[in-house]
């Protein structure tokens, strides 16, 4: 496999994926570079949404496609926002404006909760072609808790609120290379890369 399309227009996500795939010398292009619109994500699970995105992008590009669906799952909220993480507080505005509203809504929802444990979840899917009967699937999880005050300028989404107690830092305070090693997306992609290498 010499080239694949990432089924995402999220610049933070693309940077993470490109960095992790660099050792494989696979050319990585985004769906946005090819003029492919975002797929619908109507499903209730990360797996179904990731598979829908990968098939949509592969069909539109004629190339292998990699997609992930990920989000933050907060224990006190029964796993919410989960698959709705990106649009927890609505679809309006730029990505940065949505991130700010999502973070504010999450903090408001947890205001009276004594326990703020949470985890990031990621399911990553690679299809060799749109109708691939055996997609490669890998999962990753990253446990932490929600802090009351945003900290850090790296990362995106809920990273300024996602505290790693053992490090005393939020995900947004980590060096990008460290985050790629230990994050939910990094873990899922490392597992996917291992499977790719097994296939040769």
Going from the N-terminus, what domains does the chain have, and what CATH number goes with each? 3-199 (3.90.950.10)
The Cα-based distances of 23 to 26, 79, 111, 189, 197 in angstroms read: 8, 34, 43, 13, 11
pLDDT value of residue 7: 95
Q: Which two tokens stand for residue 32?
A: 């946005």
Pairing label, strands 136-146, 162-164: antiparallel
- Please report where in the chains the tokens 């790693």 appear, as a residue: 164
Rounded to two decimals, what is the model's pTM?
0.90
The Cα-based distances of 192 to 111, 118, 152, 187, 199 in angstroms read: 37, 24, 29, 9, 11
In angstroms, the CA 47 to CA 67 distance is 10
Q: What is the pLDDT of residues 85-122, one digit of tens each?
A: 999 999 999 989 999 999 999 999 999 999 899 999 99
Spot the catalytic one: 38, 68, 69, 99: 69
Residues of the chain where predicted confidence (pLDDT) is lower than 50:
none
Please indicate whether residue 159 is annotated as part of the active site: no
Could you give the 3-state DSSP secondary structure of residue 24? Answer: helix
DSSP per residue, 30-98: ETGGGTPPPPP---SSHHHHHHHHHHHHHHHHSS-EEEEEEEEEEGGGTT-BGGGGGGTT-S-S-HHHH
């Amino acid at each position: 496999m010499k080239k694949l399309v990432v089924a995402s227009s999220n610049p933070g996500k693309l940077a993470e994926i490109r960095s992790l795939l660099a050792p494989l010398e696979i050319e990585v292009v985004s769906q946005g570079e090819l003029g492919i619109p975002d797929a619908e994500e109507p499903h209730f699970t990360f797996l179904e949404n990731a598979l829908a995105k990968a098939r949509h992008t592969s069909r539109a590009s004629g190339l292998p496609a990699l997609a992930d669906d990920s989000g933050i799952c907060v224990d006190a909220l029964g796993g919410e926002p989960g698959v709705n993480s990106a649009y927890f507080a609505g679809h309006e505005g730029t990505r940065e404006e949505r991130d700010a509203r999502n973070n504010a809504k999450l903090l408001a929802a947890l205001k009276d909760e004594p326990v703020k444990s949470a985890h990031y979840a990621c399911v990553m899917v690679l299809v060799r072609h749109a109708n691939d009967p055996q997609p490669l699937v890998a999962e990753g999880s990253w446990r932490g808790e929600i802090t009351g005050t945003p900290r850090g300028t790296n990362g995106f989404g809920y990273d300024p609120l996602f505290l790693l107690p053992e490090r005393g830092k939020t995900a947004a305070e980590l060096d990008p290379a460290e985050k790629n090693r230990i994050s939910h997306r990094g873990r899922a992609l490392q597992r996917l890369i291992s499977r790719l290498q097994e296939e040769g």
